[in-house]
Structure 1
């Protein structure tokens, strides 16, 4: 029987790569692995992924305690891993949305890029009137964010739909 190994072995060929080629290949490998490289080809610090940011907006009557709603919204944002950039509370009752300074400040935070969403506890905190609510939602979307309601009223614990 003939052996698979013959007495003649070819030696390993050596490739001569320039320093520039080695750095370029390393940079390509790093980029493929998701590691950005610096100007000199040295891997840069990996860029961290920023957390999504929201602003909590709460509105109620002058004598309303919004502490529970604030706590629930804070926990809700935490469940999604959202960073809270601010909590805006208004005790002006349910005036039309155009007459509320706090709601305007929440929308402004989205416009400035400080937040990507306005989070509120209940839909009625924006407006009980569907047309007004929709107008505010559109305004926030035009600013580059979205309006999110923690409890849309469809299903609550202990309540059947």
Structure 2
């Protein structure tokens, strides 16, 4: 279950501005242009909070509004610096991932897998340079990790 109230309260306490509600028409056009379905929990988030308004939280997380959500390949195609994300661009599994948040100015990036049809799971991945790993099965699970400052948010080791 999406803990939208808790997320909003955390950001208010931290004086983090959250974005204005996403335009429903923009949400529809995003889905059509990308041939994806935004899952219900993420859609609810966009319709209410819609990101941190370009600001970072106290812990240096930035959550994106719908108008900033892009595929991983588009997010990093021209990016230079450390970590170097270019190694991810050729990985097929990454092609359906859309970046929705970052930590410490792209040290870690969080992306969700969106599908052309409704799915029981919309996996969330943590990315760092050429490394990536699934950390949640849904946006709601990711928000739960975030609210609990879970260790998974700081790139767990692969097993």
TM-score (norm 2): 0.25
